[in-house]
Amino acid sequence: MCGIVGFVGREEAAPILLEGLRQMEYRGYDSAGIAVRSPEKGLQVKKSKGRLQALADLTHNGTDVSGCLGIGHTRWATHGEPNDINAHPHVSENGAIALVHNGIIENYLEIKEQLARQGVSFASDTDTEVVAQLLEFHYNECGSMLEAVGRVLRRIEGSYAFGIICSDYPNALIAARKDSPLILGYGENGNFIASDVTAIIKHTRDVAYMNDGEIAVLTENSIDVFDSEMTPLEKEHSFIEWDVTAAEKCGYPHFMFKEILEQPEAVRKTISPRIRDGRIVLDDISLTAEYAENISHIYMIACGSAFYAGSVAKYVWEQLLRRPVEVVLASEFRYSDPLVDENTLVIAISQSGETLDTMAALREAKRLGGRTLAVCNVVGSSIAREADDVLYTWAGPEIAVATSKGYSTQLAALDLIGLYLADLLGSVSREEYDEILTELQVLPEKMQQYLEHYEETQYYASLYFNHDSIFFIGRNLDFAMGLEGSLKLKEISYIHSEAYASGELKHGTISLIEPGTLVVALGTHGPLFDKAMSNVVEVKARGATVLAVTTEGFREKMEKTADAVIAVPETHRLLQPSLGIVPLQLFAYYVALQRGCDIDKPRNLAKSVTVE
């Protein structure tokens, strides 16, 4: 979704802003713009609908726009269609104040009407322009930009990250945040703001995360941060561990492909540091055996693929903990008056740590007195900071919109926590604990093993890419894994796809199977393999073409019935989805490739959904 970058320092701002926006392209956007201030030219604003290249062309790669203070933005339209006028930055009526904004101002219409009554005219349809005009109104009234920002923040409702520059303040960049991420970057030649660390990682890895209600004033030599009462604050610095190559394609055709191949390493980084002397050590989280004993109910809340990771974990945790686990879509949980009390453990799963629905659901769980634990990939993200505990997945930056290593590391992290809790509760035998732990540690090798021979998946994608509708069927963990496999396929290849629990076929959905329908039959869950086979026979009898995914051990049996078989290495039955998902990701990838789709930036989708 929208991206913000800002710079004040001793270098030309425009190239830095354009490069920063380029690094955030992956988030999805439909227009882009920059505002730069120079002593000679004053405030210069350039905006363009469409790809960032259009803005780069418009400004001759930034050379037409001079000055060492500036803000930039990629917009993902919410209020008003994507066009040059609605693109950010928005400028106040007198042209002195420019502002970029991520988030949504909920009471903008009311403010707009009030300002219009006072004679202010508006150029765009956006909520953001209203804030620029309101800022000018208060600035005219009080004469201090900082004071005016404070007044505006008290008046507006909704979510925001702002970057603001003003002609009267040639050396200052002002930033503010509430419910939308904003990072401060401390550089050698100046200072930065960014909504996503990838935008500034080339310049600095020394950052601080702004909290809700904070306002920052950046100059080339300093960053001063204030709370909402304008009391100065000391910010804790964080060091970004990964380097710039982690967010680059490095010769791979797509980020998604690179990220699929990075899974063994990402899973290893998530698991290995947390296993010492044959035991799971979760220094990061503070759940005690006493608390675990009192857990009456567990919720997993998440959206999209993270929800599907939770759907796998539900089966795993219920097996291990013998406690009820409910996986609820965060967007439903927040409005469902959920049954949460102090004995409820709520796991919020989010790669970005910024998904608005998951954030809101987490807050609701906390408000009701539940204990919250976040599984997040982005250090310092909002969900990670608001949860009582956080366990990071160490996947590194995920750039492709469709998640792969984000999902795999969520599975690994949830397996770890589940096994850890089961150990605290004594609900798993020592033998099984050891067996699962050993298998967890060799998961990366087994993933790698499959990834070295994935050509058959590529081949089957070339056979089946022109189907209009593809069904995934499976039972138990295979069903949960199929949900993610089906989502991967539909989001990047635009093929209609559904995942069904195989046992449900007879209850209605088998009517959709007709000669030639492609069914991806999942049979990796050993205990239910025979039942998976029966379902293959059942759909074959109705004329379906079956592509089966199973384990090496069952390959031969499956080959007797299915039209095509992909096999992955075997592991503990509870961990099998971590291996089974890899061919499903690659199948989706190669099908999308055959269909000529924009794999890293599928239509209508954005990375990190920060609006409801």
Q: What is the C-alpha separation between 204 and 16, in angstroms, rounded?
A: 12
Cis peptide before 89 (omega within 30 of 0): yes
Whose Cβ is closer to ligand F6R: residue 128's or residue 358's? 358
Least distance (Å) between residue 272 CB and ligand F6R: 22
Phi then psi dihedrals of residue 604, to 5 deg: 65, 0
In 3D, which of 256, 253, 172, 265 has the Cα closest to residue 219? 172
The one segment of 26-34, 140-148, 170-178, 299-307 that binds ligand F6R by CB under 6 A: 299-307
Helices (H), 11-102: 13-23, 52-58
List 46, 112, 405, 607, catalytic entry: 607
Annotation says 166 is catalytic = no
Dihedral over Cα of 135, 136, 140, 145: its sign:
positive
Let me know if 2 is a catalytic residue. Answer: yes
Going from the C-alpha of 379 to that of each of 246, 268, 406, the distances in angstroms are 15, 18, 13
Query: Of the two residues 402 and 501, which places its CB atom closer to ligand F6R in the complex?
Result: 402
DSSP characters over 176-214? EEEBS--EEEE-SSEEEEESSGGGTTTT-SEEEEPPTT-
> Is 165 or 348 the residue whose CB approaches ligand F6R more closely?
348
**Which CB sits closer to ligand F6R, 487 or 513?**
487
350 in contact with ligand F6R (CB under 6 A): yes
Closest contact distance (angstroms) between CB of 530 and ligand F6R is 32
Q: Give the footprint of ligand F6R on residues 487-516 (CB under 6 A).
A: 487, 491
One residue of 99, 301, 303, 575 binding ligand F6R per CB under 6 A: 303
Spatial separation of the C-alpha atoms in residues 7 and 129, rounded to whole Å: 21
Please give the DSSP secondary-structure letter assigned to residue 246. G
Q: Which of 358, 372, 457, 576 binds ligand F6R (CB under 6 A)?
A: 358
From the CB of 310, what's the least distance to ligand F6R, in Å? 10
The dihedral through the CA atoms of 142, 147, 151, 156 has a sign that is positive
Rounded distance between C-alpha atoms, residue 176 and residue 150, angstroms? 9
Query: CB of 467: closest distance to ligand F6R in angstroms?
Result: 20
Catalytic residue among 2, 68, 303, 597: 2
Q: According to the binding rule CB under 6 A, does residue 311 interact with ligand F6R?
A: no
Stretch that binds ligand F6R, among 23-31, 115-123, 160-168, 344-352 (CB under 6 A): 344-352
Site for ligand F6R in 391-450 (CB under 6 A): 402-403
Task: Out of 38, 126, 351, 372, name the contact with ligand F6R by CB under 6 A.
Answer: 351
Q: Which of 264, 304, 370, 380 binds ligand F6R (CB under 6 A)?
A: 304
Query: CA triplet 370, 376, 382: central angle to 5 degrees?
Result: 70
Ranges of beta strands (E only) in 330-430 are: 344-350, 371-376, 389-392
Residues that bind ligand F6R (CB under 6 A): 303-306, 350-352, 355, 358, 402-403, 487, 491, 608-609
Q: Which residues have a catalytic role annotated?
A: 2, 607
